[in-house]
Structure 1
Amino acid sequence: METNETPLVTTDGLTKTYPSTSSGRRGDRVAVDRVSMTVRRGEVYGFLGPNGAGKTTTLRMLLGLVRPTAGTASVATDRIGALIEGPGFYPYLSGRDNLRTVARFRGYADTEVDRVLERVDLAARGSDKYKGYSLGMKQRLGVAAALMGDPELIILDEPTNGLDPAGMADMRALVVDLARGGQTVLLSSHLLAEVQEICDRVGVINGGTLLLESTVAEMRGGSSLRLRATPEPVALAVAMRLAGDDGVRGTPAGLSLDLPADAAPHLVRELVTAGVDVHEITPTERSLEEVFFEMTAATREKEPVS
């Protein structure tokens, strides 16, 4: 996916507070706390956080649906498609007629309805009434509405909610395809494997606070080597000599060394020279999930904020 450094979405100190409604509590409840983020043109940006972290409130402020308490949000295009929370359609109309209603309101031809139904693989079920749709089909119809008019920026709030594994794979493929076509996708999710697979950069939010903004690769860090060898004290000494005292950690599966995968042959030679029997040496990478839980451990007990 080709991206450039030109920002399409920028927030600066974006904040939203609500009056506290809990008895015995004073002051305002902070839903979003001074979030500053940047989404670049042509990228898939993953807005990552647990349920209640402040993702939806932030997206609503970007779209002008919620007024910020402080800070600013700037979107450098008026061609925006969005699916925020669950889609809302008329239950007694078919999927196609619901989209026709949306299309006429926005000034699009009926041919646009057929195009987006095809794009989300609902063309064969377009004549069925919305009330008979499964949760996953309703979600895909909402995404279809967001794709009308070929928007430059597409904001999707938890787009794989309600989808089965095959539907989730199809949705991920669609998001990647949109970005390859030059569109920018801002995708919120609490599914870390999903974000790791399709996003160029991520912003991690928890308790209303943006903890980090970086590429997925930078967030995961470099690769490491897992080593099982005996005698372990000698293996540990060799490992510390090569990776440094702080670059070696004991785990239930053996030793973890902060060394790249291409260092494995040299490590094996040094271990064998020292009389160590090498039982296993495996390159490993931290998953986004591991990094995320490390980052949010200190704030995990905060009250959910929406």
Structure 2
Amino acid sequence: MDNDDALVLRTEGLTKRYGDRVAVDGVSMTVRRGEVYGFLGHNGAGKTTTLRMMLGLVRPTAGGATVLGHPAGRPDTTARVGALVEGPGFYPYLSGRDNLRSLAHYRHLPRTEVERVLSLVDLTARGDDAYKGYSLGMKQRLGVAAALLGDPELVILDEPTNGLDPAGMADMRELVVSLARDGRTVLLSSHLLTEVQEICDRVGVIDHGRLLREAAVTDLRGGITVRLRATPHDTALAVATRLAGPGGVRTLPDGALGVDLPASAAPDLTRALVTAGADVHEVAPSERTLEEVFFEMTTPGARATRPESTTSPKEPVS
């Protein structure tokens, strides 16, 4: 049970319908103070609509969100939250620096704050260039800089690495980690699951508007299991299933078998395969990636066998 004092954000039964279409369906999730929380889902799964309800930009059909101890959308709460949702929007003929200065002026922030956030996203040298001449990655950096104005307690970033090259993605990853290290809370929506695996403490997986699972990254991935290659395949599958149980064996993308046995069981598995007449090519410790878990959870077959993840019609906005 989460201590309310440790929570920065909580949603309870958060729901949004557009006519007969359900965009978000009863989402209840929590984000704890000082963590990096990954919000995962395919395009159209309901991520952005959920984020917009958290920010008070969209009114829920049912349920609600509490941010920093208050209902979402209150002005005093919004001032303590920085967000980049659905891409940045700036005046095209103003420079990046002047765009940020206009935002800072509106919020009664000093110009030194503009220079601070430009430095954080490595745009100081290009700050005087017109926004219309920025690359997609530079526009994304400026959007993140705008979200960091005023040193917010909670930072909500929707696909912040969109358009960045590998070096820019690495810089953004380090920035997100440093924000949490300095005591801020980051809610990160991303489709780059490798990055989420590296930097997030917990994740929530949403599919067709419903939250399938919320857990620590390590718990979601599970422990170290066994990767198996042996022929004939049918014999290997039968032996592995006998030892691991009917639900304990899966076929990996490259054709190998993932067997839900501890690595210490590898010798017993090998002996059983040899006794059954199989040729063993590989038995090695294996740990599932977040990407593998995500696709297992969100494939149609997985949804069909998971009663709590009944699908709803797709939302009109991703």
Please tell me the TM-score bracket, short chain as reference: 0.7 to 0.9
CA distance in 2, matches of 1:250, 1:130: 48
CA distance in 2, matches of 1:203, 1:193: 15
> Would you say how many aligned residue pairs link Structure 1 and Structure 2?
296
CA distance in 2, matches of 1:291, 1:250: 13
Distance 1:229 1:296, change over 3 A: closer
SS at 2:34 equivalent:
coil
CA distance in 1, matches of 2:127, 2:250: 56
1:222-233 aligned at under 5 Å gives the runs 222-229=223-230
Distance 1:15 1:241, change over 3 A: closer
1:279 to 278, 281, 300: 281
Unmatched runs of 5 consecutive residues or more in structure 1: 20-27
Give, as a single letter, the amino acid of the residue that structure 2 aligns with 1:208.
G
CA contact (8 A) 1:57 1:66 kept: yes
Corresponding residue number in structure 2 for 1:91: 92
Corresponding residue number in structure 1 for 2:138: 137
Corresponding residue number in structure 2 for 1:11: 11
TM-score (norm 1): 0.85
Give, as a single letter, the amino acid of the residue that structure 2 aligns with 1:296.
T
CA contact (8 A) 2:44 2:208 kept: yes
1:61 counterpart = 2:61: no
CA distance in 2, matches of 1:14, 1:211: 14
CA contact (8 A) 1:54 1:305 kept: no
Corresponding residue number in structure 1 for 2:22: 30
Corresponding residue number in structure 2 for 1:218: 219
Deviation at 1:274, TM superposition (A): 9.0
**Higher alpha-carbon deviation: 272-281 or 216-225:** 272-281
Distance 1:241 1:136, change over 3 A: same
CA distance in 1, matches of 2:248, 2:281: 20
CA deviations over 1:19-56 (Å, ceiling 9, x no partner): 3xxxxxxxx22111111110000111111111111111
CA contact (8 A) 1:81 1:155 kept: yes
Deviation at 1:244, TM superposition (A): 4.9
SS at 1:37 equivalent:
strand
**Higher alpha-carbon deviation: 191-200 or 294-303:** 294-303
CA distance in 1, matches of 2:11, 2:152: 20
Deviation at 1:246, TM superposition (A): 5.1
2:299 to 288, 293, 297: 297
CA distance in 2, matches of 1:159, 1:106: 23
CA distance in 2, matches of 1:151, 1:94: 23
TM-score (norm 2): 0.82
SS at 1:86 equivalent:
coil
CA deviations over 1:112-156 (Å, ceiling 9, x no partner): 111110100101111111111001100100100111111110011
Distance 1:205 1:241, change over 3 A: closer
CA contact (8 A) 1:208 1:305 kept: no
Distance 1:265 1:121, change over 3 A: farther
Distance 1:236 1:16, change over 3 A: closer
Give, as a single letter, the amino acid of the residue that structure 2 aligns with 1:203.
G
Distance 1:286 1:117, change over 3 A: same
SS at 1:36 equivalent:
strand
CA contact (8 A) 1:47 1:202 kept: yes
Unmatched runs of 5 consecutive residues or more in structure 2: 70-76, 304-310
1:181-196 aligned at under 5 Å gives the runs 181-196=182-197
Deviation at 1:234, TM superposition (A): 8.1
1:142-161 aligned at under 5 Å gives the runs 142-161=143-162
CA distance in 1, matches of 2:152, 2:286: 39
